[in-house]
Amino acid sequence: MTTVQSVEAPTGAARNWIPICAHADLIPERGAAALVRGRQIAVFRAFDGHLYAVGNRDPYSGAYVISRGIVGTRGEEPVVATPMHKQVFSLVTGVCLDDPATAVPIYPTRVTNGTVEVSVE
């Protein structure tokens, strides 16, 4: 069974899904880093089961550390605060809630037969 956990592909668009890890290996509210086709991606599993994948590079420091950030919510919005400068990014849109002119890329995720997959296209 396949379950899309975050951003879906636009209607009619084909996605190339890359396996990352077993869903059971992701600890809720903790990030994991993955290298997918030359891109560092931070993957998060929320307590409610949703998966989120964003770029792992902190645009403020240039360090690849977002996967080590603090996961939580701001209002109803699932977010991650970067570990270096504590800017808060939406896990849904990638937009920095403290500076809306800055964003990190987001990537569609899904779980297929217990394996987390991400699309970087």
Say how far apart CA 80 and CA 68 lie, in whole Å. 9
Per-residue CA distances from 39 to 4, 43, 48, 56, 68 (Å): 21, 12, 27, 8, 16
User: Is the distance from CB of 115 to CB of 6 less than 8 angstroms?
Assistant: no
pLDDT tens digits along 74-120: 999 999 999 999 999 999 999 999 999 999 999 999 999 999 999 99
- Number of domains the chain is built from: 1
CATH of the domain at 100: 2.102.10.10
**8-state DSSP, 63:** -
Structural domain boundaries, residue 51:
2-7+16-118
Q: Report pTM.
A: 0.86
Which pLDDT band holds residue 49 (cuts at 50, 70, 90)? confident
> What residues contact 14, with CB distance under 8 A and at least 6 apart?
none
